[in-house]
Chain A
Amino acid sequence: MSVVDGSTWEPSRRELERRAVRRARARRDILVATVALVVVLGALVIGITSAPGWDRVRETFFNWDEAKASFPQVIKGFGKNVVVFLVAEPCILVVGAGVAVIRSTVSPVMLPFRVLAVVYADVFRGIPTILLVYLAGIGIPALELQGLTTNTLWLGTGALVVSYGAYVSEVFRAGIESIHPSQLASADTLGLSRWQSMVHVILPQATRRVAPPLLNDFISLQKDTALLSVIFVFEAMFSAQDYTNYHFNYTPLVVAAVLFIGLTIPLTRFTDWFARRMMRREFAGVAK
């Protein structure tokens, strides 16, 4: 066995050959990927544009002039979608985590709250979100209660929080239950109270674990802000429909769709990146 100083190591000819093979393969993979992409996209474009009704569809859905004319109105509405999303998201996190924590308590005093939490999750996950938005936006003002807002924007936001809070509470609960009982046992042996264990040991781990599905729910929420159109909130969807009704052209709906995509894609990429980073962290050390 020859002893070679590590610092003076030079790759052998065999290794250089191997690297060349790997590089050649990487180049070939890129070429294959490019060709596959062009062929598949090309086939899609040709398939759609050669459809018999394509000319009419292009005129009514993809009209550049109509897009330009409707853009100011649609983007103004879209601002409301963003506001609703930004307000609803933190509220949903609090409601979801709170309900999940209540459901995982064991104290007898907490029983009524546990029952309420179960009923809440069962009922509001069962009702279609669009019905909740209707009920909140039209039913609550009809009660004519003093001191309660009749602003449909905020009532609709509340409906989204209630509906998504129920979903997210189940995501959190799954995360809490996935933490191994030995974690709770070791927190117990350190003398932490149940509440302290939950706050300092269980919930941080659970949240990390369910972050990808949580972000997934938030991408879904971004789109569901368009449901507020059914209670006449002038958000992107409703603004686009409004324009459509006056100009008999559906292009504004496509404009709204593009705006939504522009918002969800960055969040989707962020979700992917976040999940990958977590994989690397939690499974580090496999390859010593």
Chain B
Amino acid sequence: MSHEALLEATGVRKTYGEKVVLDDVDLVVRPHDVICLIGSSGSGKSTLLRCLNLLEDVDDGVIEFEGREISDPRVDRRAVRSRMGMVFQSYNLFPHLSVLDNCTIAPRRVHGVPKAEAEQRAHDLLTRFGLADQASKHPDRMSGGQQQRAALVRALCTQPTLLLLDEITAALDPELVGEVLTIVRELAEQGTTMILATHEMAFARDIASTVCFLDQGRILEHGSPARMFSRPREERTRQFLARVLPQT
């Protein structure tokens, strides 16, 4: 057991009925790591993130977070989630709340931060991410890129120690992908610990500290982006990369 690990998953298994979605998955995340999960749709990237955030119960294996086993059914899930942030592909902002209220609901209701302080923190982050003038708007009035940036701010407002990003640019058109990735890159440079499932290979190559290739529910291969993208060991990884990497 590596003591410096922020999160460690060992032998994680998840099935839906007969279908094995995650099979003996091991993952170690140390502080300031940026782990990129790559692989085709249905390879288990999203399910792994959902298991780590306890949105799904694992069917076997152990997940430890900040030195405690969180896969134990007796663990308080809300306490775990209050330390972990998650952003979804489809933003999932609350449509009935303004952006500012979306960003302050968890700090105020879960973490007991006073209103003024929560709003100040949200405003600071929104400003940093170029959304200062959007704070009073409702999510549906904004572009997809703006919504996804607001969703990132919402996740950051609780000051999580680990950020899970589930294909957060998959629903955006190419022009808007950039503005979201810029923010993620900035967060990575500041040392935010992140696990992200992504289809943006160039981006993964740039910012990842470790790239994991998932295939049929297993982490088939993992390593530094430099090695993974230039000298993949597995045939399956080579095939996948050949299909998704821009031909140069």
Interface residues of A (CB under 8 A from B): 1-4, 6, 9, 11-12, 14-15, 18, 21-22, 25, 287-288
**Contacting chain A: which of B66-74, B93-101, B132-140?**
B66-74
What string of 1s and 0s marks CB contacts (under 8 Å) between B72-89 and chain A? Answer: 111000000000000000
Q: A288 touching B219 by the CB < 8 A rule?
A: no
Contact check, B219 vs A11: say whether CB atoms are below 8 A apart. Answer: no
Q: Mark B93-129, 1 if CB is under 8 A from A, else 0.
A: 0000000000000000000000000000000000000
Contact A18 B47 (CB under 8 A): no
CA of A18 to CA of B11 in the docked complex: distance in angstroms? Answer: 15
Compute how far the CA of A21 lies from the CA of B57 in the bound complex, rounded to whole angstroms: 13
**Which residues of chain B are near A288, meaning CB under 8 Å?**
21, 42, 46-47
Cross-chain contact B24 with A12 (CB below 8 angstroms): no
In the complex, the answer to whether A2 meets B61 with C-beta atoms within 8 Å is no
- Picked from B23, B26, B46, B62, the residue with its CB within 8 Å of the CB of A6 is B23
A21: which B residues are within 8 A, CB to CB? 72-74
**Contact present for B62 and A14 (CB under 8 Å):** yes
Q: Which of B23, B26, B47, B219 has the most CB of A within 10 A?
A: B23
Give the number of residue pairs across the A-B interface with Cβ within 8 Å. Answer: 41
Known: A15-B60, A288-B46. Is A1-B218 also a contact (CB below 8 A)?
yes
**Closest A residue by C-beta to B19:** A6
User: What's the least CB distance linking B155 to chain A, in Å?
Assistant: 19
A22 lies within 8 A of B73 (CB): yes
Q: List 10 A-B contacts (CB under 8 A).
A: A1-B24, A1-B26, A1-B218, A2-B24, A6-B23, A9-B60, A21-B72, A21-B74, A288-B46, A288-B47
Q: Out of A4, A18, A25, A287, which one reaches B24, CB within 8 Å? A: A4
Tell me the bound Cα distance from A18 to B74 in angstroms.
9
Listed in ascending order, the chain B residues whose CB lies under 8 Å from chain A are 11, 13, 16, 20-21, 23-24, 26, 42, 46-47, 50, 55-56, 59-62, 71-74, 218-219
Overall SS of chain A's interface: loop
**Separation of A199 and B56 alpha carbons in the complex (Å):** 40
- Chain A residues with CB below 8 A from B47, complex form: 288
Cα–Cα distance between A25 and B24 once the two chains are bound (Å): 27
Contacts of B73 in A (CB 8 A): 18, 21-22, 25
* Min C-beta distance of B34 to chain A, whole Å: 20
Provide the residues of chain A in CB contact with B218, threshold 8 Å.
Answer: 1, 3
A11 to B11, CA, bound (A): 11
Residues of B with C-beta under 8 A to A11: 59-60
Query: A12 to B60, Cβ gap below 8 A?
Result: yes
Structural contact, A12 and B46, CB atoms closer than 8 A: no
CB <8 Å contact, B56 and A287: yes
Closest Cβ of chain B to A41, distance in Å, is 30
List residues of chain A with CB within 8 A of the CB of B219: 1
For the complex formed, measure the closest distance between the CB of A286 and the CB atoms of chain B, giving whole angstroms. 9
Note all chain A residues with C-beta closer than 8 A to B72.
Answer: 18, 21
Chain B residues near A15: list those with CB within 8 A: 59-61
Q: How long is the Cα–Cα vector from A93 to B48 in the complex, in angstroms?
A: 47
